[in-house]
Structure 1
Amino acid sequence: MTDLPPGLGAWSSLPFFTNQWPGISAAISEDPRTILPPAHQRFAALELTQPENTRVVILGQDPYPTPGHAHGLAFSAEPDVRPFPRSLSNIYKELEDDLGVTRPNADLRGWARQGVLLLNTALSVPAGEANGHKHLGWHHLVHQVLELTSARPTAYILWGNAAQKLEKHIKPGDHLILKTAHPSPLSARRGFFGSRPFSQVNNWLAARGETAIDWNAGTEAQA
């Protein structure tokens, strides 16, 4: 079996890493194109937010295809990226309208460290070719992550049709499931703006006696 990426922790027990990862790893190794994010960051979302710590799941699509942007977390980018990716810029607009929080950089690792799993539905992309690895087999991982995390109450933020189609992999339970348009400039005005997902998540957590997410955390540049 292909060596497991380091730092996976409890995620390493998912069948994906035995059944699909060896083939995906081989396909990436044989792809002559530049693949993003760099290999050491490919599973950063899982490494930073372990199953037992996951309280919120936000699904993205695939990593940013611009070199130097993606670092393994959905919607997040390296702290020095300017201008912000367009979907992230709209997320920040909604965050400011919802909670008055203004974030100075594109790095969302501060969210991940509080139990917000920022998971793309594909964890690799050829540079400059959005959705270039959409059919590589990453969906097996996403399905299994949803099934595992939904074994206990979790908040799910499903932006756009692609994410919402994955709801069937969330086991029934006392979850919060928020479904709106995607924050992309093409669709944000069709229901994303004004949806107040951040306060909704914190209100749900508070009702359960849990600590709210500090959506302003981690705004300092981090290595």
Structure 2
Amino acid sequence: MTLDTSTIGDWADLPFFADELPTISSQLATDTRDILPPADQVFTALTRTPQADVRVVILGQDPYPTPGHAHGLAFSVAPDVRPLPRSLNNIFKEMVDDLGAAPLNGDLRFLADQGVLLLNTVLTVPAGEANGHKTLGWQKLTHQVLAAVSQTRPCAFVLWGKQAQSLAPHIASPKDSTNPSDGHLMIQTAHPSPLSARRGFFGSRPFSKINTWLAQRGEPTINWTDA
């Protein structure tokens, strides 16, 4: 697998790409397993949502390990995938309860185009081996992305589950806020997986909360349902 960073725009300035990516790339090049997502989709989250456009950050864990599912965005799947992964199905259930509707399929690229950064903490996975690349070093990219985005402007950060919540220390206070009390919106609940969704994810209404916060800031709200 050969990774191409030519499409990631202003994200390329993060130290990760000079300091850590060469080592990760060499490890991937010698890995004989089927690696997901395809090489040209590994950085889709960064390509699709430029740093200057980020308004919401939703953190995932690692890509779906089922071939044909992952395409570089956390929780998102290719539009023809049926049935939906169980975590995404629960996200859509909560969306229906919260907003009255959900997208017709699992392709969330339309959210990325509205400034929702759908970033996995680990960007690659061997097919059939969930968390198989958790020791490669991808997490350093997530740390730097969170620091860079949070320092720039107030954003909504969605941290579902303990793994995502453990990254909260990398979220800094925004430097350009005109009001000292005008900080980030932090949404921290249980993960939407079937094992934990009923422990606080269902009923949390994150989507309407984000839109209310954006509206109060005078920003366009997110069209979560692609309606």
Q: Same fold (TM over 0.5)?
A: yes
Counterpart in the other structure of 1:205: 214
Query: Paired residue for 2:191, among 182, 190, 194?
Result: 182
**1:172 Cα deviation after fit:** 2.1
Give the conservation status (yes or no) of the 8 Å contact 2:159–2:186.
yes
SS in 1 for 2:167: helix
| Residue 193, structure 1, aligned to residue 202, structure 2 | yes
Give the conservation status (yes or no) of the 8 Å contact 1:58–1:116.
yes
Q: Report the AA paired with residue 14 of structure 1.
A: L
Question: Could you tell me how far apart the structure 2 residues matched to 1:208 and 1:104 are?
Answer: 29
Question: Could you tell me how far apart the structure 2 residues matched to 1:18 and 1:121 are?
Answer: 18
Question: Could you tell me how far apart the structure 2 residues matched to 1:75 and 1:179 are?
Answer: 17
Counterpart in the other structure of 2:26: 26
Question: Could you tell me how far apart the structure 1 residues matched to 2:39 and 2:52 are?
Answer: 24
Counterpart in the other structure of 1:150: 150
Q: TM-score, normalised by structure 1?
A: 0.95
**1:44 Cα deviation after fit:** 0.1
SS in 1 for 2:159: strand
Question: Could you tell me how far apart the structure 2 residues matched to 1:172 and 1:211 are?
Answer: 22
Give the conservation status (yes or no) of the 8 Å contact 1:75–1:88.
yes
Question: Could you tell me how far apart the structure 1 residues matched to 2:155 and 2:4 are?
Answer: 27
Q: RMSD of aligned C-alpha atoms?
A: 1.1
**Where do residues 130-141 of structure 1 align in structure 2 (5 Å cutoff)?**
130-141=130-141
Q: Which runs of 5+ in 2 are unaligned?
A: 175-182
Give the conservation status (yes or no) of the 8 Å contact 2:102–2:224.
no
Q: Report the AA paired with residue 40 of structure 1.
A: D
SS in 2 for 1:25: helix
Question: Could you tell me how far apart the structure 2 residues matched to 1:190 and 1:3 are?
Answer: 38
How many aligned residue pairs are there? Answer: 217
Deviation digits for residues 7-52 of structure 1, max 9, x if unmatched? Answer: 1100000000000000001101100000000000000000000110
Counterpart in the other structure of 1:126: 126
**Where do residues 166-181 of structure 1 align in structure 2 (5 Å cutoff)?**
166-173=167-174, 174-181=183-190
